[in-house]
Amino acid sequence: MNQSQTENRPEETKEALFEYLLRLADDRLILGHRISEWCGHGPILEEDIALTNMSLDYIGQATSLLEYAAEIESKGRTEDDIAFFRDAIDYRCLKITELPRGDFGFTIARQLIFSIYSYLLFNSLKNSEDKTVAGISAKAFKECQYHVRHSRKWTITLGDGTEESHKRIQQAFDELWRYTGELFYMDEVDHQLLADGIAVDVQEIKPEWKQRMSQVLEEANVSMPSDDQYMADGGRNGIHTEHLGYLLAEMQRLPRCYPDATW
């Protein structure tokens, strides 16, 4: 459906685009998997459904992105091949997405950080020169709007709630902050695609991300941790935390054990 746009592209653009799509998709596939671990364990029924709905949103976004990546690659792989038959070192997700589920406060804190970032990212990306990327981003943007609303409401409820809920959510943000630097990582892949009008300059998003985070945290009575600390990185280059291996072992087990399985 986008054949002419794909075929007429120079090789470097195609390679960079494939890499870029993998990064976007892996973030959402891995985070979607983590959130799905709440299924059946939500604090209340309605939250269980809310979290699993969000997980499905993420996996849907990842599927669309990997489908397009497979098309760009043109090596006959499907989105399932790319998702299930790749080891941790070939994954391009941000470290923040791999971290264990944690308690409800940890999940909400991570959701606030990631969903505000995604909201701003897709808001820009829906104007991409690449029509497929723009289309996927426009749809994902609507989903992100809801994710932000949900995590904002819960951050404020927990932060401005009981002593226990406040303690837990403050601790969650304190633990997560060292993973926020990586959200705004850029390298030659981004710069190549920026030149083509396809990608987004995430460094430009950073100030607004900080400002929106600060608004919510203030309303939630949570103090924003300092940026002046060690910031984790490496995810975009296949360097991951010890958690990703275990996650992939669970996620990829079925197709790897039974490659002929049909659903």
Partner 1 sequence: MTKKNGQEDTQWPLWEVFTQPKSGKPHEHAGSLHAPDAEMALQNARDVYSRRNEAVNIWVVPSKHITASTPDDMGPFFDPANDKAYRHPQFYNVPRIAKKRS
Using CB under 8 A, list all residues that contact partner 1.
44-47, 49-50, 53, 146, 149-150, 153, 157
CA 10 to chain centre: 28
Burial of 46 (0-12, 13-18, 19+ CB in 10 A): exposed
Which lies closer to partner 1 via its Cβ, residue 153 or residue 256? 153
- Minimum distance from residue 121 beta carbon to partner 1 (Å): 23
Query: Residue 58 and residue 60: Cα distance in Å, rounded?
Result: 5
Question: Considering only CA atoms, which of 149, 158, 92 is closest in space to residue 118?
Answer: 149
- Minimum distance from residue 154 beta carbon to partner 1 (Å): 8
> How many residues are present in the chain?
263
Query: Residue 172 and residue 96: Cα distance in Å, rounded?
Result: 12
- Minimum distance from residue 43 beta carbon to partner 1 (Å): 11
Which lies closer to partner 1 via its Cβ, residue 156 or residue 248? 156
- Minimum distance from residue 50 beta carbon to partner 1 (Å): 4
Which lies closer to partner 1 via its Cβ, residue 50 or residue 176? 50
Which lies closer to partner 1 via its Cβ, residue 93 or residue 116? 116
Query: Residue 34 and residue 100: Cα distance in Å, rounded?
Result: 7
